[in-house]
Chains A and B, each alone.
Chain A
């Protein structure tokens, strides 16, 4: 990110750059609610976050987003202002995502629920919102609640990409919970239903590992 000449020129003249290895500096990672890499946060000298970018973007887009953020464009605060009196579900979803990435789970859920309350129950934004909420439960280690939410997606949507996504999350969550037997059954169910999918091989590896844990894994 900091190796593109255009980005370097702009960044070093106006801003101060910091690179934090999240794998080594867990304190900073936790303090800033970093849940994935790369995460780039634009912050004031006071330490207050202006906004953040999660994931990779091409250099020019990355730079433009940072410039916009520094001018108050596209930030959470900006979007919250636009949402007043609005019924723009895509905007609600964007706000929810911003809260989620900042670790503001309660606020994120409120905004995902606004997406659900203002549109069709089985449309794309509703599906994305329900997956996001269920995944927040998983990340918060509320495993039973997460499995219940993923299972409800399977029941309600019946077929399609959200069902497939929920059906790979269910065994993954059960594994994290430590319910090995249920995780194996759910992984097997996934492989049976989606043998040609990208995740089928990974699911088979998980089944193998759960059935034959190494000494380290079983401790």
Chain B
């Protein structure tokens, strides 16, 4: 029973952590073309190239 409770709590905390991480991340576009289309003439684009490998 204690083990089940621990697994449940771990699962809940993982989900919560994921949601917080999602909320804390700045909203961004995943494509330069989409961002260019959405930007006003005065707005600048900050394009971050990254690699997940």
Closest residue on chain B to residue A44 by CB atoms: B44
Interchain CA distance A124-B23 in the complex, whole Å: 46
Q: How many A-B residue pairs have CB under 8 A?
A: 117
Bound Cα distance A17, B32 (Å) = 9
User: Are A18 and B26 in contact (CB-based, < 8 A)?
Assistant: no
Name which of A1, A21, A43, A45 has the most chain B CB atoms within 10 A of its CB: A45
The distance in angstroms between the C-alpha atoms of A14 and B40, with both chains bound, is 11
Q: Are A41 and B41 in contact (CB under 8 A)?
A: no
| Chain A residue total in the interface (Cβ 8 A) | 36
State how many residues of chain B have any CB contact under 8 Å with chain A: 28
Contact, CB under 8 Å: B46 / A17: yes
Q: A16-B39, A42-B45, A45-B41 are in contact. List 6 more A-B contacts (CB 8 A).
A: A14-B44, A16-B35, A21-B51, A22-B51, A38-B50, A39-B48
B53 engages A23 (CB within 8 Å): yes
> B6-44 toward A: CB 8 Å interface, digit per residue (1/0)?
000000000000000100111111111001101111111
Is A20 within 8 A of B30, CB to CB?
yes
Chain A residues in 8 Å Cβ range of B38: 16
Q: Which residues of B contact A34 (CB under 8 A)?
A: 49
Smallest CB separation, B18 vs chain A (Å): 13
What separation, in Å, do the CA atoms of A19 and B48 have in the docked complex? Answer: 5
